[in-house]
Amino acid sequence: PEAITLGDVLRVTEPDFALVGCMAGDWCLFADRCQVPSALDRAMQAFLEVADQQALASAFPSNKAVHAD
């Protein structure tokens, strides 16, 4: 479990990372000259790179009982 990263979990639990319709294959009038999908793809890759650096085991408190005071 210590080797599992937040990025691993995101890739398994998210069906896709299409932030706009054209990234999912939807038709768009501006697709041939639009730079939005390319920019969003680069941003998503950067997001996942950071998520890949976060081990899931260290992202949460230990298994010790949590007491609300």
pLDDT digits (tens, 9 = 90+) for 27-64: 999 988 999 999 999 999 999 999 999 998 887 777 66
Hey, CA dihedral for 41, 46, 52, 58, is it positive or negative?
Answer: negative
Which CA distances in Å does 41 have to 27, 30, 47, 50, 54?
17, 17, 10, 14, 20
Q: What is the C-alpha radius of gyration for the chain, rounded to an integer number of angstroms?
A: 18
Q: Residue 31's pLDDT is what?
A: 86
CA 30 to chain centre: 26
The model's pTM: 0.73
C-alpha span between 25 and 15 (Å, rounded): 14
Q: Residue 40's pLDDT is what?
A: 93
Q: Residue 9's pLDDT is what?
A: 95
